[in-house]
Amino acid sequence: MTACEFQPGLEGIPAAQSKVSFVDGQAGKLEYRGVPIEALAENSSFLETAYLLIWGKFPRADDLEILQAEITHHRRIKYRIRDMMKCFPESGHPMDALQASAAALGLFYSRRALDDPSYIRGAVVRLLAKIPTMVAAFEHIRNGNDPVSPRDDLSYAANFLYMLHEQEPDPLFAHILDICLILHAEHTMNASTFSARVTASTLTDPYAIIASAVGTLAGPLHGGANEEVIMMLDEIGTVENVHPYLEEKLATKSKIMGFGHRVYKVKDPRAKILQKLAEQLFAHSGSDPAYEIALELEKAVAEKLGERGIYPNVDFYSGLVYQKLGIPTDLFTPIFAIARVAGWLAHWREQLETNRIYRPSQVYIGDHKLPYIPPDQR
C-alpha cells in the first residue's frame, strides 16, 4: 500500500466497505440497502426500516411482528437507571444524559458474546427499545416529575410521544414522527457512524458503541445543528431581516446552520421530505411564522452560496417539524439519536462480519530530538 496524502476530515477517503446505505451527493439520492429513501418514507415504518438496515432485508410480516413484540416488551428501563438520571443536573443537555444512560446499560447487560446471534439480537432489541424511554424519562426527571411508563398498546413513535407528553398523540403526529425516524435512521459514513465503527472494531460492547456515537452526534456540526436552526430562525425574527442576517454571517465567515453537507451538493432529499411534512403539519394545526423565514433564507442562501453547492441539509426543516409536534428544542438531537441507533447497529453488525481494528496513521509534523528541559529552566 502506498502512503497517501493527508486529507483534513478524511474527505473522500473510504473508511469501510458497506452495503448499509448509499448517497449520490450530486444527484441528491439516498438509499438504505438499495431502497430509495422516498419509497421508505412513503410506505415503511421506522421499525421495518430498522430491520431492513440491521438485517439487510425486508422482514416478512411475522418477522416484523416478532420484532415489534420484543421491542414493546423491553421498553421499560431499570429503576436504577431512572435513579441515576435523578442525580444528573437538570441544566445538563439531554444528549449528555442520553450518552451517560446508554453507556450505563452496559453495566446492567454486561455479558458480551459477539459471536452469538441471540446476544446480538438481544442488544439490538434493548437499544431500540430503551433509548426512547431514556430520552423521555430525562425530560420528566429534569422537570421534577416521575417518568411516564411506556404503553404496550402504542406504536413505537406514538409511545414515545405519549411518554413525553403523557397523553395519547394525534395519529398524524405519531405518523409524522415515525417518518422523521425513518429519514434520520442512517446516512453512510458520517462522523457518528465512523465513531460507532471505530469503537465496534475494538470488539467492545454495543452500549459503549452507542454511547460513543451519541457523544459524536451531539456536536453542532453534526446532529446538534437542528437545534441551532431553530435558534437562528428565532434570532432572525422577521422575513425582512433574512438578508441583513445572511450578509452579516457571510461577512464574518460564519456558518449558516442547516445548510451545507460534505456529500450533498444539492438539496438533501431528506430536507425535501421534511419540508413536505412541515407543510402537512401546518395545514393540520396552523402555520408557523418561522416557516416563512426559513423559506426566505433558503432562497437567499441559494442565491449567495448555491453555486458552491450549499443547500438545506436534513437539519434545516426537521426542527420546524419537531417544534410543531410539541417537542422541546433540546430534544431534537436526542430524537435524531433515537433514529440513528438503527444505522449505528447496522454498522456494528457489518463491522463484526469482517472486523479489523481501526488504526489509521498520522502525518507527524512536530519536532525531533529536543533536549529535556528541567522545570526550573522552562
Q: By CB under 6 A, which span of 258-266, 272-280, 318-326, 342-350 interacts with ligand CMC?
A: 258-266
The residue (of 47 and 339) whose beta carbon lies closer to ligand CMC is: 339
For residue 347, which of 15, 4, 1 has the smallest C-alpha distance?
15
Give the separation between CA 245 and CA 290, rounded to whole angstroms.
14
312 pairs with which residues across the strands?
259
Is 310 a residue that touches ligand CMC (CB under 6 A)?
yes
The residue (of 35 and 297) whose beta carbon lies closer to ligand CMC is: 297
Minimum CB separation from ligand CMC for residue 25, in Å?
10
Give the separation between CA 158 and CA 290, rounded to whole angstroms.
26
- Helix (H) or strand (E) holding 30, with range, is strand 29-32
Minimum CB separation from ligand CMC for residue 270, in Å?
9
Give the separation between CA 131 and CA 98, rounded to whole angstroms.
8
The residue (of 9 and 374) whose beta carbon lies closer to ligand CMC is: 9
Which of 132, 147, 169, 223 is the binder for ligand CMC (CB under 6 A)? Answer: 223
Contact 331, 218 (CB under 8 A): no
Which of 184, 261, 268, 347 is catalytic? The answer is 261
- Please confirm, yes or no, whether 187 is among the known catalytic residues: no
- Helix (H) or strand (E) holding 95, with range, is helix 94-108
Which of 222, 243, 272, 276 is the binder for ligand CMC (CB under 6 A)? Answer: 222
Give the separation between CA 358 and CA 198, rounded to whole angstroms.
6
Contact 15, 191 (CB under 8 A): no
326 grid coordinates: 410539541
Residue 371: strand, helix, or coil: coil
Residues 5-24 that bind ligand CMC (CB under 6 A): 9
Give the separation between CA 281 and CA 173, rounded to whole angstroms.
8
36 grid coordinates: 430509495
Which of 315, 367, 368, 376 is catalytic? The answer is 315
Which of 102, 103, 225, 321 is the binder for ligand CMC (CB under 6 A)? Answer: 225
Which of 32, 46, 259, 344 is the binder for ligand CMC (CB under 6 A)? Answer: 259
Is 261 a residue that touches ligand CMC (CB under 6 A)?
yes
Residue 58: strand, helix, or coil: coil
- Residue where the block lists cell 443547500: 311
Residue 376, sorted as left (phi over 0), alpha (psi -120 to 50) or beta, turns out to be alpha
- Please confirm, yes or no, whether 153 is among the known catalytic residues: no
Q: By CB under 6 A, which span of 51-59, 148-156, 260-268, 355-363 interacts with ligand CMC?
A: 260-268
Is 262 a residue that touches ligand CMC (CB under 6 A)?
yes
Minimum CB separation from ligand CMC for residue 309, in Å?
8
Is 190 a residue that touches ligand CMC (CB under 6 A)?
yes
Minimum CB separation from ligand CMC for residue 162, in Å?
27
Is 46 a residue that touches ligand CMC (CB under 6 A)?
no
So which residues are the catalytic ones? Answer: 261, 315
Tell me which residues touch ligand CMC (CB under 6 A).
9, 190, 221-223, 225, 255-262, 308, 310, 313-315
